[in-house]
């Protein structure tokens, strides 16, 4: 599947201490080409202020704006170029990561999620009564 000993790449497997992992991570890559569901790892990476490069499928269901809070690239060369951009341009890397963190902390915090669930339930109950 993956080549072992790829220069500059570490395949860590199961991680017990996510904070330590993210402290040592510069860019998070989500090259998902198929599948469905919410990409929890994107929310997680953004909460740590890490910049993310993903495909449209990889970022599906999450309200991050391309080129502001995430870099969306669907083909190999642009995907690789976006990763290199973030690895070589420290300010851009920090800007994307912090913008993602800010949005995620506002939109996906516990209180915001509870409010959204309550609103959805209220809407469903009103719809069912009519």
What pLDDT shows up at residue 3?
63
Domain count, the chain: 1
Task: Specify the higher pLDDT residue, 9 or 31.
Answer: 31
- Residue 93 located in a structural domain: yes
Query: What is the span of the domain harbouring residue 36?
Result: 18-129
Give domain status of residue 10, yes or no: no
Residue with tokens 């912090």: 98
In a domain, 3, yes or no: no
Residues 6+ apart with CB under 8 A from 88: none
Asked if residue 6 belongs to a domain, the reply is: no
Q: Is residue 115 part of a domain?
A: yes
Q: Which residues of 17-26 are buried (b: 16+ CB within 10 A; e: fewer)?
A: eeeeebeeee
Dist. CA 32–CA 61, nearest whole Å:
13
* pLDDT range class, residue 37, cuts 50, 70, 90: low
pLDDT digits (tens, 9 = 90+) for 59-116: 998 889 999 999 999 999 999 999 999 999 999 999 999 999 999 998 888 888 888 8
Average pLDDT, rounded, for the chain = 89
Q: Is residue 2 part of a domain?
A: no
Domain of residue 28, CATH code: 3.40.50.2000
Residue 1 lies in a domain: no
How much is the pTM? 0.80
């Amino acid at each position: 599947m993956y080549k072992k000993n790829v220069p500059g790449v570490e395949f860590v497997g199961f991680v017990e201490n996510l904070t330590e992992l993210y402290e040592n991570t510069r860019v998070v890559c989500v090259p998902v080409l198929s599948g469905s569901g919410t990409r929890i790892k994107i929310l997680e990476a953004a909460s740590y202020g890490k910049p993310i490069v993903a495909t449209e499928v990889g970022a599906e269901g999450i309200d991050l704006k391309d080129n502001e809070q995430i870099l969306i690239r669907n083909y190999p060369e642009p995907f690789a170029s976006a990763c290199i951009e973030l690895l070589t341009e420290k300010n851009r890397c920090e800007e994307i990561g912090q913008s993602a963190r800010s949005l995620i902390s506002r939109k996906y915090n516990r209180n915001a999620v509870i409010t959204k669930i309550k609103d959805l339930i209220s809407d469903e109950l009103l719809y069912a009564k009519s």
